[in-house]
Structure 1
Amino acid sequence: MGVERVASCGPVGFVRGDVPLSPREPVRMSLLIPPLRPAAFVLLVSSPCPALAESQASADLAELSVSAAPFVTNASAGYPGGAGGIGGAEAFGALTAPIQASSAGVVTGAAINNRPVTRPGEVLEAVPGLIVTQHSGEGKANQYFLRGFNLDHGTDIAIQVDGMPVNMRTHGHGQGYADLSFLIPELVGAVEFHKGPYFVRDGDFASAGSVRIDYLDQVERNLALTSIGSFGYRRALAIASAPLGHGTLLVAGEAQAYDGPWDVPDRLRKINGVVRYSQGTTLDGFSATGMAYAGRWNATNQIPARAVAEGIIGRFGTVDPTDGGDASRLSLSGRWSASDSGGVTRANAYVIRSTLNLFNNFTYFLDNPVDGDQFHQRDRRIVTGGELARIFKGELFGLPMENEVGIQARFDDIRVGLFNTASRARIGTVRDDRVQEGSAALYLDNRVRWTEWLRTSIGVRADGYDARVVSDNPLNSGTARDGLVSPKLGLVLGPWADTEVFVNYGEGFHSNDARGATITVDPGNPLFPLDRVALLVRSVGSEVGVRTRAIEGLLSTVTLFQLDFDSENLFVGDAGTTEPSRPSRRFGVEWTNHYALTPWLSLDADLTLTNARFSDVDPAGNRIPSAPTFIAAAGLTLGEGTGWFGSLRLRHFGPRPLIEDNSARSRATTLVNARLGYNFDNGISVQLDALNLLGARASQIDYFYPSRLRGEPAEGIADRHFHPVEPRAVRLTIAGRF
């Protein structure tokens, strides 16, 4: 039947087939998702495992806990399993709930590693409608765009890696700062994504969407690779796993260097390591993981368009050659799960130590015509937290039902500061703060399958926050507390003719910087009073979606969505951070398609159209700066097993308003990346990636704000500032599996 299993024992594996699964296959479908006709899709299943085979109760729990319908995978459907890249995943952790919205889904690790990318964070562009870009040095957190949001570095997209939050609240550079520089794509087992505030497990920063990245417990064969490429790109990676005691030890190490095309080279230098010990399965087992990352770099930030037009600098030049930074991240995390006849219990805990030093100059000589406007943003913190949850298997009037109850907690101990600098030498202090911020959440979710064509989810989430700020100016010290209760509702109708209809409503939130919730005076001018902002800001979203497989091999989804915010988080160019702004409303449509032409060739395409506006009345205008109206992507992936493999991807990032009255707009950016490679029978693989294949002269990102070059008027000049797309580049990778 053409079924391929890539994990011999574990809670889940990847299955690809063109005919219905044989009843003799040890696969457990979810009770809450009726099985439909498979058609060359990537499917999540519980793989054969002695522990499960010995326990019917465990098998029943797998039935409840693994979303195994053809519609479970949105972005991953149709990808040839394991083809198209040197990386790729063999197995990953089970989902804890069936797919409840048309805009939710799972991307396999193999699909993630099929994509030729410039930087690690770009692998998340496998999530339909998500743009990942950069406006500074390669060691800095990426810029994210989704559903009409300029999410800056993570204001409204919640990202987790292996159960640990990546977003940092009350951060030195911007609220929700989510740095994925420590991500090793070849270790990714799966990416689970949600869009909209409809999911009880998603809390802070998750209103536009959430992304949960799971790492592998083991690799089928050890991996060693080396890459070289244009502009001084060099990378080495090794991943190995082996039995140890009753479990498995996995070790991975990475080193990377990159200069980029910039007149002042990035000189990125980073090292990365992962050590993981695991036993059992996702339903009955545990793992303990340590991670370490360190990086340093120079930065070419966005530059004024007038400086390039006048020949003062080139497209890859800089106004302040001393910008840059360094970062580090150390973490220890653990997960545990156990199943019994009544359900599944899971728990995870983590401790993270992170540091960041950023030196940026966005306005040049506007505020300080002598020394310049460079500033140092410092952030040092220890984050601790965890989650404990129980899924209860039950019945309601004889109908299959799940009840999920969970608690989450997090505590950030933060030292955060903002300083004026010249060539990275401190010349003044704007503010220096110690912040302690804690939060706790309780969530409940009830999921019932009422008939063969109707299932519902009704949930509620309650969040409480408490923050204490000790500032160098006592007038800005204080405490802030806030809480929200967020209902979540979901309805799934069908299938009829291999088609399902999803209806969702939910309320969510993002937190604001705790310093803004206790501030009373301007740090730069103690005589100038400032208003405090709410610690938590509510969002309200809804969507209706249709997902169909009526055409053989094609998975197509159309979703209409709306999201309202009480207060928008916007990037402020002259401050280099995000600040609360006006209320907003977004509505739009997403269309996602994945077509498996053959077992070795697939096509995908998606587009998002969004109307984003401030919802109040203001003479300045109602456009939301940097909010994308149109995002589209398309790709072709080929290859299976040994032999040739390849990928061709197009990504279109439409024009955006840069100020509220829409008088200044960015240009569109269209990029094409390509990959061609060969897998030999002996485990050696060779691949060549071509990035920006067509040599587009475009922008990674654009802003509009006033800045001042030497000799310009004291009030500066309002101008478009852009970070250019890197020119055409090639990267050669040679890898061996053993």
Structure 2
Amino acid sequence: MLALLAGAASAQSTGRLVGTVTEAGTARPLADVNVALVGSDRGAVTDADGRFDLDVPVGTVTLRASSVGYSDADETLTVRAGETTRVVLVLVSTDADLGEVVVEGRLTNLVGVANAASSGLVGQAQIAVRPLLRVGEVLETVPGAIVTQHSGSGKANQFFLRGFNLDHGTDFAASVDGVPMNLPTHAHGQGYLDLNFLIPELVETVAFEKGPQNAAAGDFATAGRAEIRLVRRLDAGLAEAEAGSDDFVAALVADSWRLGRGDLLVALRGQYTDGPWVQPENGTLASGVLKYSTGSTRNGLEVTAMGYHNDWTATDQIARRAVPGLVTRFGTLDATNGGTTGRYTLAGTWRRSTDAGQRTRATAYAAAYHLNLFSNFTYFLDDPDQGDQFEQADRRAYAGADVAHSWRMGGIGRASETTVGADLRHDQIFGVGLFRTSARERVGTVRDDEVAQTRGGAYVSNETRWTEWLRTTLGLRGDVYAFDVTSDREVNSGGETAFIASPKVGLALGPWAETEVYLNAGLGFHSNDARGTVIAVDPATGEAVDPVDPLVRTRGAEVGARTAAVDGLQSTVALWALELESELVFVGDAGGTEPSDASRHVGVEWTNFYRATDWLQLALDVALTRSRYTAGESDGDRIENSIGRVVTGGVYAGRPDGWIASLQVRHLGPRPLTADGAFQAEASTLVNARVGTTLGPVAVALDVLNLLDSDAADVSYLYTSRLPGEPAAGVEDVHFHPVLPRSARLSAALRF
């Protein structure tokens, strides 16, 4: 009995420290590092993934990590009885190294490491405290990025960044565990980016860049790009259930096990929702992840399989004149819109590093994808009897690989690293078509094509630290494309090839007083739909048309600064400009993207993330943009749906093992709907909130979305449509998709 009492007393007087040791400048986990409690004989040695776990007495303690070739790192923290405290220790090599830090998300100090003011990192800690309406809002953690929707929840989100109406991904590139997610020559829009399959709880980091200044960035990266990385394993199993307004229910089960010499991660997520719509959405989503990892992120192998299926009924944007006489704000003018989609991917990434500073990464992937999307934006304008519904269908398989090798170079500056890389991708599109439909039944074919599209790219970049205050980055990228289109109209069949070279340059000055200044410039590009590169006759009208350029040149420049001079604050400011020889814009009445005139976007971004205390964090991001066509058209130079003002911010209070509360604000300024600016979409402000608590292995949270019950529009377009009884020529009107009304979601998660 005395022994039991002594054991219980000991448990109450100790706490648990779980942490990771990484290398500054590369974020590589460091194995065999000694982690000791200063003034005690307690300690541990990190495993292959740089992790350690030890029990320590309660109170204020200091940990010290030490390893040959690195400066010691100390961390002082407070340990509470019976609680687990997590810590990241970063060791600085005594032999300067260059690279990218991926440790604590927006709390990471990137001064001296980042190559541009607008690049950054988001970690799971920032994602976990945000109330999310839709999983695609993971990308709203990128400062200045906006994620909305103008149709059902199974369709790819609508993205906005740097004054671009990116439609469903055009000019913004994203990858998940090395698999590129943008789809070229897509049935609905060039660069279509569907992230509805994401499981936010598995996202470890989102590394982002804006502008085309990085030689590793290829197609669709003009406005920006994001590399989403999933966790390799979980510290504990997770079972989560969520339920809320409008018949929303979701469930997640995830766990990882030690299997052989590696870790196996398994996760399954399901979701159902009807939404606030008069016509229930009946949205059914299922996604899963299976990932096996061996070794470490520095020397190891990862194999990831992802599967996703979604089926839904959509309430698309509706004409303003139809509300409230014909339908309500949440009504529909075609109850059979919607769709079904799925994507199944398999990817493997191998990494190897040497003590001499050489690093090699190789990734290979394959994917199968399908989409059947039914929309009706003009109602009865083209077909007064059966209506204007149309189907966009896409069936494809795509596969590719990319490899990069980096090495240090002696005799150049104080430290120099060169990277060479190459990538290859082939899309075999078995069918990409546009069909006239009525209640999802095909009644005519506009066009039906098969496309083979191959892209290859190669690049070289060098980063050199010449002095303690001067770093340069030089890069050159080349891309070659081959298109082969087999159309149902022979005249629209053919092949096309194209090549484009894109030089990049960057300069970093500092740091002085934890502040660094950057100058960056580079050329980039986006590809056009393969069908448009060989087209001769408009399949809808039969009129002769000119083909578009396969590759469109883009240019970007940026000057900015980053500071960590104030303790706990990470702040950046960037002045930037982007020029495109042809803007890709979404056409509301056609339901897809089309090449438009040359354009210029200029703006300023100010981002801030502040850790006020160990339980309070604050964020404020402001983006102001001026976007204009530069071709001098007589009807105006405004770019439709270019947002000139984005302000986002949040207050995040609490600790992961106790009470939490967060408030997230998103403001969008007014935006033009016509080139002359005569019609404007109104500004909107949305507020989301979360409160929750953790009691042992159970965490409970309540999200209130659209807390102020705003009746704003997610998106708005101006075009001509026809309602029953209206003139045959139709009526020009604003068509909008409303934000969802105030709703609540309650979740409970069990760690096991």
TM-score scaled to structure 1, two decimals? 0.90
The residue type equivalent to 2:748 in the other structure is I
The residue type equivalent to 1:435 in the other structure is V
2:676 aligned residue = 661
List per-residue Cα deviations over 1:480-521 (Å, max 9, x = no partner): 111110011111111112211011001111110000001000
Give the 3-state SS of the residue equivalent to 1:434 in structure 2. Answer: strand
What's the offset of the Cα at 1:65?
A: 4.0
Say yes or no: does 1:580 pair with 2:595: yes
The share of aligned pairs that are identical, in percent, is 48
Say yes or no: does 1:434 pair with 2:450: yes
Aligned equivalent of 2:473, options 437, 444, 457: 457
Say yes or no: does 1:691 pair with 2:705: yes
What's the offset of the Cα at 1:627?
A: 0.2
1:708 aligned residue = 722
2:36 aligned residue = none
Aligned equivalent of 2:638, options 609, 623, 627: 623
CA distance in 2 between counterparts of 1:478 and 1:700 reads 39
List per-residue Cα deviations over 1:346-391 (Å, max 9, x = no partner): 1001000000000000011111111111000000110100101101
1:185 aligned residue = 200
Say yes or no: does 1:144 pair with 2:159: yes
2:428 aligned residue = 413
1:287 aligned residue = 302
CA distance in 2 between counterparts of 1:12 and 1:108 reads 18
1:155 aligned residue = 170
The residue type equivalent to 1:565 in the other structure is L
2:27 aligned residue = none
1:531 aligned residue = 546
The residue type equivalent to 2:465 in the other structure is R
| Structure 1 residues 100 and 10: CA distance shift in structure 2, 3 A | farther
CA distance in 2 between counterparts of 1:354 and 1:27 reads 49
1:518 aligned residue = 534
Larger radius of gyration: 2
| Structure 1 residues 590 and 283: CA distance shift in structure 2, 3 A | same
CA distance in 2 between counterparts of 1:189 and 1:460 reads 30
Aligned equivalent of 1:422, options 424, 438, 445: 438
What's the offset of the Cα at 1:219?
A: 0.3
CA distance in 2 between counterparts of 1:109 and 1:589 reads 27
What's the offset of the Cα at 1:99?
A: 1.8
CA distance in 1 between counterparts of 2:396 and 2:330 reads 34
| Residue pairs, 1:358-397, within 5 angstroms | 358-397=373-412
| Structure 1 residues 656 and 649: CA distance shift in structure 2, 3 A | same
| Structure 1 residues 344 and 380: CA distance shift in structure 2, 3 A | same
1:5 aligned residue = 19
Say yes or no: does 1:470 pair with 2:486: yes
What's the offset of the Cα at 1:27?
A: 10
Conserved? CA contact 1:11–1:46, under 8 Å: no
What's the offset of the Cα at 1:76?
A: 4.5
What's the offset of the Cα at 1:13?
A: 7.9
List per-residue Cα deviations over 1:106-154 (Å, max 9, x = no partner): 1001211211011100121111000000000000000000000000000
What's the offset of the Cα at 1:421?
A: 0.3
RMSD: 2.7
The residue type equivalent to 2:335 in the other structure is P
2:690 aligned residue = 675
1:303 aligned residue = 318
List per-residue Cα deviations over 1:293-331 (Å, max 9, x = no partner): 11100000000001004x110000011111000001111
| Structure 1 residues 608 and 12: CA distance shift in structure 2, 3 A | farther
Conserved? CA contact 2:20–2:50, under 8 Å: no
2:460 aligned residue = 444
CA distance in 2 between counterparts of 1:12 and 1:561 reads 38
Conserved? CA contact 2:156–2:193, under 8 Å: yes
CA distance in 1 between counterparts of 2:360 and 2:266 reads 27
What's the offset of the Cα at 1:523?
A: 0.5
| Structure 1 residues 47 and 27: CA distance shift in structure 2, 3 A | farther
Conserved? CA contact 1:28–1:62, under 8 Å: no
The residue type equivalent to 1:278 in the other structure is S
CA distance in 1 between counterparts of 2:77 and 2:175 reads 31
Aligned equivalent of 1:607, options 603, 614, 622: 622
CA distance in 2 between counterparts of 1:196 and 1:402 reads 22
| Structure 1 residues 380 and 29: CA distance shift in structure 2, 3 A | farther
The residue type equivalent to 1:507 in the other structure is L
| Structure 1 residues 365 and 46: CA distance shift in structure 2, 3 A | same
Conserved? CA contact 1:45–1:66, under 8 Å: no
| Structure 1 residues 119 and 588: CA distance shift in structure 2, 3 A | same
| Residue pairs, 1:327-338, within 5 angstroms | 327-338=341-352
| Structure 1 residues 569 and 126: CA distance shift in structure 2, 3 A | same
List per-residue Cα deviations over 1:680-717 (Å, max 9, x = no partner): 12x11100000001111111111111111111111111
The residue type equivalent to 2:584 in the other structure is N
CA distance in 1 between counterparts of 2:462 and 2:661 reads 43
TM-score scaled to structure 2, two decimals? 0.89
The residue type equivalent to 2:467 in the other structure is T
1:67 aligned residue = 101
| Structure 1 residues 607 and 523: CA distance shift in structure 2, 3 A | same
List per-residue Cα deviations over 1:181-227 (Å, max 9, x = no partner): 11110010100000000111110000000011000110000100000
What's the offset of the Cα at 1:551?
A: 2.2
| Structure 1 residues 591 and 149: CA distance shift in structure 2, 3 A | same
The residue type equivalent to 2:144 in the other structure is G
| Residue pairs, 1:351-362, within 5 angstroms | 351-362=366-377
Conserved? CA contact 1:540–1:565, under 8 Å: yes
| Structure 1 residues 723 and 469: CA distance shift in structure 2, 3 A | same
Structure 1, 664-673 or 548-557: larger mean CA deviation: 548-557
The residue type equivalent to 2:724 in the other structure is R
Aligned equivalent of 1:563, options 556, 578, 592: 578
2:521 aligned residue = 505
CA distance in 2 between counterparts of 1:193 and 1:282 reads 19
| Structure 1 residues 513 and 44: CA distance shift in structure 2, 3 A | farther
Structure 2 spans left out of the alignment, 5+ residues: 1-15, 22-45, 53-59, 79-85
1:53 aligned residue = none
Structure 1, 551-560 or 370-379: larger mean CA deviation: 551-560
CA distance in 1 between counterparts of 2:166 and 2:345 reads 25
1:346 aligned residue = 361
Conserved? CA contact 2:140–2:147, under 8 Å: yes
Conserved? CA contact 1:288–1:333, under 8 Å: yes
What's the offset of the Cα at 1:573?
A: 1.4
Conserved? CA contact 1:353–1:383, under 8 Å: yes
Give the 3-state SS of the residue equivalent to 2:525 in structure 1. Answer: strand
2:333 aligned residue = 319
Give the 3-state SS of the residue equivalent to 1:437 in structure 2. Answer: strand
Q: Tell me which of the two structures has the higher relative contact order, counting C-alpha pairs closer than 8 angstroms and 6 or more residues apart.
A: 1
CA distance in 1 between counterparts of 2:143 and 2:703 reads 22
Conserved? CA contact 1:543–1:561, under 8 Å: yes
List per-residue Cα deviations over 1:417-446 (Å, max 9, x = no partner): 100001101000000000000000001010
Conserved? CA contact 1:46–1:66, under 8 Å: no
What's the offset of the Cα at 1:395?
A: 2.1
* Runs (4+) off by over 6 Å: 27-30, 37-40, 42-48, 59-62
CA distance in 1 between counterparts of 2:597 and 2:639 reads 9
2:658 aligned residue = 643
What's the offset of the Cα at 1:595?
A: 1.3
Give the 3-state SS of the residue equivalent to 2:138 in structure 1. Answer: helix
The residue type equivalent to 2:715 in the other structure is I
How many pairs align? 696
What's the offset of the Cα at 1:270?
A: 1.0
Structure 1 spans left out of the alignment, 5+ residues: 49-58, 79-94
1:483 aligned residue = 499
Conserved? CA contact 1:75–1:126, under 8 Å: no
